[in-house]
Structure 1
Amino acid sequence: MTAAELAAPRSPQRPARRGNLEKWGWIYMRVSGVLLVVLIFGHLLVNLVLPEGGVHALDFAFVAGKMADPFWQWWDVLMLWLAFIHGANGMRVIVNDYVQGRAVRKTLVWVIGIVAALMIVLGTLVVFTFDPCAGVFGPFENPDSALFEVCQAAAAK
């Protein structure tokens, strides 16, 4: 087989840039993957294994208690950010590998980035603005709830 018979490989979509974004994306995937394994197994251990009663101890009060602690807020936000960026970067690589049309590929990469950014912003807002007493008072007030007394005492302060 001669060189003339071989098909030319696909040329890169754009010229190589200084800084090599693909290299940093590859490194990010490895580092974030290791960090995510630690964060997720720590999350599972603390939420499902260590509490007295195991998974049966997991209820709204347990989550509300964790969300009141800045350490667990930052743990969950770090896990959220790493997971969404890791997943979006993986989807970007898949789109770049399999989508042939330049315009479609560019559109899909933008959509992935916008959706990931939106979910990161919304998830971060939920973690840092979580208020367990938000639905306790008002039309759905339930005086029999264990949370009702705690929220009533907090509101009186």
Structure 2
Amino acid sequence: MSTAIADPRAPQAAVRRKGPNLEKAGWIYMRVSGVVLVVLIFGHLFVNLMLGEGIHGIDFAFVAGKLASPFWQWWDVLMLWLALIHGANGMRTIVNDYVATETTRRVLIWALWLSAGFLIVLGTLVVFTFDPCLGLSDTSADWLLEQCA
């Protein structure tokens, strides 16, 4: 009994599934988010490392000052969201490529999205609820006590 193997260059019948094409949306997201992330990250690095005192000026006061501005809050949150979703989508692609069993694949993909979602929620809360005056004591720096008074 012999079985014929199809010619790999032979045209295949296209099977079109109904519903949204999530793989295509993920592929487009990776390209668009990658370009936006390059702009966000290099802007972040330029402001933090090149302007002002450079790396020597980065301290708690610098971070508190940046997080007091809605512009920088949204900049950081956008960078956080795009990077975490971009990374989780990339890991999802790797899991789909290399994990053979369907059950293991589903567990890993669920774990990826749950951990990414948890980190997104936690990071967003930190950025928007950051209060440098919370928990001050008498041993805090003088400049911080003056700002919070």
Give deviations 1:19-49, integer Å, cap 9, x for gaps: 2100000000000000000000000001111
Alpha-carbon separation, structure 2, partners of 1:114 and 1:145: 42
Aligned twin of 1:11: none
Name structure 1 gaps, 5 residues minimum.
Answer: 9-14
TM-score, normalisation: structure 1 = 0.83
Alpha-carbon separation, structure 1, partners of 2:123 and 2:140: 30
> For the structure 1 residues 40 and 99, does the alpha-carbon distance in structure 2 shift closer, same or farther, using more than 3 Å as the test?
same
Shift in Å, 1:148: 1.7
Q: Which amino acid aligns with 1:29?
A: M
Superposed counterparts of 1:4-153, under 5 Å: 4-5=4-5, 16-51=17-52, 53-137=53-137, 141-151=138-148, 153=149
TM-score, normalisation: structure 2 = 0.88
Q: Which amino acid aligns with 1:148?
A: L
Give deviations 1:64-110, integer Å, cap 9, x for gaps: 00000000000000000000000000000000000000000000000
Shift in Å, 1:149: 2.1
> For the structure 1 residues 144 and 36, does the alpha-carbon distance in structure 2 shift closer, same or farther, using more than 3 Å as the test?
closer
Q: Structure 1 runs of 4+ off > 3 angstroms?
A: 5-8
Shift in Å, 1:6: 6.0
Alpha-carbon separation, structure 2, partners of 1:134 and 1:109: 37
8 Å CA contact retained: 1:142, 1:148: no
Shift in Å, 1:143: 4.9
> For the structure 1 residues 104 and 144, does the alpha-carbon distance in structure 2 shift closer, same or farther, using more than 3 Å as the test?
closer
Number of equivalenced pairs: 141
Shift in Å, 1:135: 2.6
Deviates more, 1:100-109 or 1:141-150: 141-150
